[in-house]
Structures are given as C-alpha cells and as structure tokens.
Chains A and B, each alone.
Chain A
Amino acid sequence: MSDDGRIVVSGLTKQYRKVRAVDDLSFTVQSGRVTGFLGPNGAGKTTTLRMILNLVTPTAGKATIGGVHYSQLAQPLRHVGAILEASSAHKGRTGRNHLRIICAAAGFPLKRADEALELVGLTPAAKRKFRGYSLGMRQRLGIAAALLGDPKVLILDEPANGLDPEGIRWMRDLLKALAQQGRTILVSSHLLSEMELLADDVIIIANGKLVKQGTMKAVINGLSTTERVRVRTPQAQELVKALGSEVSVETDDDVLLVTGASAPEVGAAALRAGVELHELVAEKPDLEHVFLELTAGKAGIR
C-alpha cells in the first residue's frame, strides 16, 4: 500500500461559541494499520473525524488524506469510507435504495449496492424499509455504504455503539480482515478492551488536545506504573514475613498485591517459607489503565 492512505492532521482547531472542542491537534495515521482513536466523552473525537471529512469547517489547521483535503478528492468514496454518528437513512426508504442513491451520486454502477449488502450480510433485509431495521442492521448498512467504493481508508466513529456481543465480534473480524488487505483504518471507540484487541496504533486525546500517540505496545509499556504481583494464599501473614521489609504489600481479603518484587521472586520466597499459593500473577498494565491514568481529571463536561 502506498502513501495514499495516510491521514495527516496538523494544528486542527475547532472553536465553538464557548468551547474549544479541538485544540491545535496534530497526528498522523499510517496506512495499512488499524489506529484506535481514543478519548473520554466530549474529548473532540467526533468533531476531529468530521473535520477530516470536510463535514465540519475547522477554525484553524488542516487535515489531509493521501496529501489532499477531502473536498479535493476526485472520487471521495473510492478513497475514503466513513461511518459516523448522527448519520442515518430516510426511515421510509429501503436499505437497498439508500445505497443505490449513493451509488448514483458517486457514479458507481447501481449493482454495487447489492454487492455491498451481500458483504455485510444484509441481503435478506435489502428491500425492507430502514424504519424496521434494528440498531445492528443500521450499523451494517452504514458499513455497506462505507464499503461501496472499495476505499483504501476507513474512518469509523464508535462503530460498535449499540451492537450486541455478536455484532461487536462481527465488526472486529471484519475490520481485522479489512486491515489485513492493507487498508488504513481509523476507528474511534471507548471500548478499551475491544481496542486493545484490534488496534496496532493508538491516539489518545482529551479536552481536544493530543495526550499520547504511538504503537499500542509502546503506549502501554511506556507508562511508568510499577509492576504489581497479585498473590492469593491462605497463609498471608507468613508470606508477608517471608517477603521482607523491602516490598510493600496491600491486603484485600486473601489477596495480596505486592509491589517491589517480581513474580518469580515472590514465588521463590513462598517456596522457601513453605507457603501455599493458590494464585500468582504479574499484573500487566493494560490499555484501560493507561487510558485512565493519561486522561485522569480531563474527562467530562466542559
């Protein structure tokens, strides 16, 4: 995949009457990877995505896809597919007609609509009116619309919202498959565990500003939280004694949370003291920890 799918955001700012929704935001989304776009509610994720797609006019800064502004793409749907919130279809129109209308405007053959419906498994409901679609079916129709032009870049705003577990899993598999075909995928979400499974890179924003950008691994490991070991034992007191005074221990029922010693060290100490262990786990920091730490106090209503 060439540079075509790179999304570059530089100095992007959106000032609403009283709120600076996005504040001098800059980041780059690499092509051929899944990038998770994270932030607390109201962080400016949706506004940023809409500015990239020329739906919201920035107060300052710019965003380009493959080096050009969205409005300058000759055939935008061939380059970029998007699923956004507050995007819908006419309630009285069938899903198939909704897609055919987009095909006509984009200059695609109308039969692309049927192919896209097939791709997302909506063919049985193709001629049903949008009014009767479940949330999951609506989301699938949105994806079908995004895939009409077989785009290199996919931008998705909270695609898992309102999906049931099966739907979420379907979405994950689909996005992974699309990424493996070499497409650029920028997906915003607040389902952090889901993101950890899906994304190669992460961009975290809060209050409209960039907090962290990097590969998933680097972001998670880059956090300075000291490693903790979780131990469950019926002989808590003996174990604490055996560990010595250099480590600090928090107790929670029969669970000990040990900082200052690695899991092998704790295991060795327990063996020497003849203490029985039921559980010994090194707690790795996960995306949720990192996210909450990085965005602490920045969430909420502005």
Chain B
Amino acid sequence: MAAPRERLTRLTVPFRALAQRFIFVALVGGALALMLLGKADTALTERVRLLTGDAIAPILALLSEPVATVNRGVRTVDGFLNVYADNARLREENERLRQWQTVARRVEQENAAYRTLLNAKSESRVSYITARVVGDASGPFVRTMILAAGTADGVAKGFPVVTGDGVVGHIIESGERASRVLLMTDLNSRLPVLIESTRLRAILAGDNTDRPRLQFFANAGELQRGDRIITSGHGGVFPPGLPVGIVAAVGDRAARVQPYVDLERLEYVRVLRLDLPRLSDNQDTGRAAARKP
C-alpha cells in the first residue's frame, strides 16, 4: 500500500511546485490588477472599503480604549503637577479673553445691525457631530484617521472635520458606523484657504509632511511668517473663516503652514454638518444626530 503512494508523491511533487509557482505569479498579477482597478473604478473599491471599515471599527474602538485610558491618566497626573503654573497662565489668559469678549460683543452687534441694513443673506447653519478617533492609519503614504461614527450618526462623505483649535480634514468615506478622515497633511488633500490679513487666496496642498504647502494662484505678495491661514469657503466643502494654521516658513516659491491642530494627538473631533438654507427641512434630523455622542 505504501509503495504506490510513494510513487504517487514522487510524481505529484514537481506538479505541486509548478502549481504553487503558478498560484504565486497569479496572485502577484492579482495584486497589480487590484491596484489598476482601484485607480479606475473608485466606486467599487470604496464600497469594499466601507464594508471593511464598518466591520473593524467596533474592534478598533475596543482596542483603543485602554490606550486612551492610559493617555487620560498621564494627562491627569500632568495636570496635577502643573496646577500652579497652569492656574497663573489661565488667569492671565482669562483677563485677555475678557477684553476680547467685550470687543467681540460690540462687533457682533455692529455686524447684526449692518446685516439688517443691507438685508444680507445669512450664512448656512452649521451643526456638528462629535466622534471618537479609533484608528490612526497614518504612514509614509497616507494620512488618514478612522472615526467611530458613520451615516447612522449623520456623517456623510465630504463633511469637514474640525476640533476647537481648527481644521483637521474632511470625510472621504463614510460607512454605517465608521468613517475615514483625510487629514489636511495627506498627499491628496487640497484645501482652499485665505491669508487672513491680506485676503489673498491660496490652496493648501498636503504632501504627507507635517506642514502642508501653500500654493498661490497669483503673486504670493508680502507673505510673512506667523500669518494666520483660514478656510476661504471656496469649493463648498468648508465653511469660510475656520482657522487652519499659521505660516511657519516662507521660501522663494512656496510657504509651509503649521496646522493649529496637533494632528498626532486627536481623541475626539467634530464633524460639521453644513445645512444649506435650501435643505433646512432636514435640520431636525441633523440636530437629532448631533445630540448623539
């Protein structure tokens, strides 16, 4: 019984090796084909990405919880150690902000008066959804994050993502429970911005570095280090006037911007829902979703 089986193995071994090599080559071809497919038919690959994103989001939420707890603990200890210095700093800051508040109140009233005088159209209403960052998929090739909120929470593709400090990026994929944020530092991110002081329009182009590049349509003008960069509202993705960053380096042909938001340390972000005036019928559902944590 053993002899024929041995003979059989001796016969099948070369075939097996050949078959394995064939499978390997076919799989390499398959990977290349997938890349071409992803380049050509983005809708199909996006759907597959959404499904996997939905599937792994709960697992990632679970895995990221201990790390988040440790980070919170470290911050608490840090807060206790620095309580005196922080208090002094905050007191000073509070005084400064109170002055600003007075200015802001006056300007707000003035603005409202001028608006009624001019009968100006009010800007679109903004509500937001707070979402936890559960995945950090940044590397040398992409800069994205995974949020534990999806279409079920009111998040949709294209919505801007911000924190209290400024712009983070925008949603590029949104599944039912999870969505992916393209950070403004990603190679594929193009953000229409304004230089706050000169009102000069520019595009903030990510290149996978920490400081995205400013590209100008016209002459860069007298751009200076420390100039504030805000969103321009062109292109309709971002509402105008959101803080983006400050000019960190000015070269001959390009300038680099340091984002206000520390993109490496994000725990919660806000996804903005832009309710355009025409769509105001949907506002109730928007607010209901916004209330959900």
Are A and B subunits of one complex? no
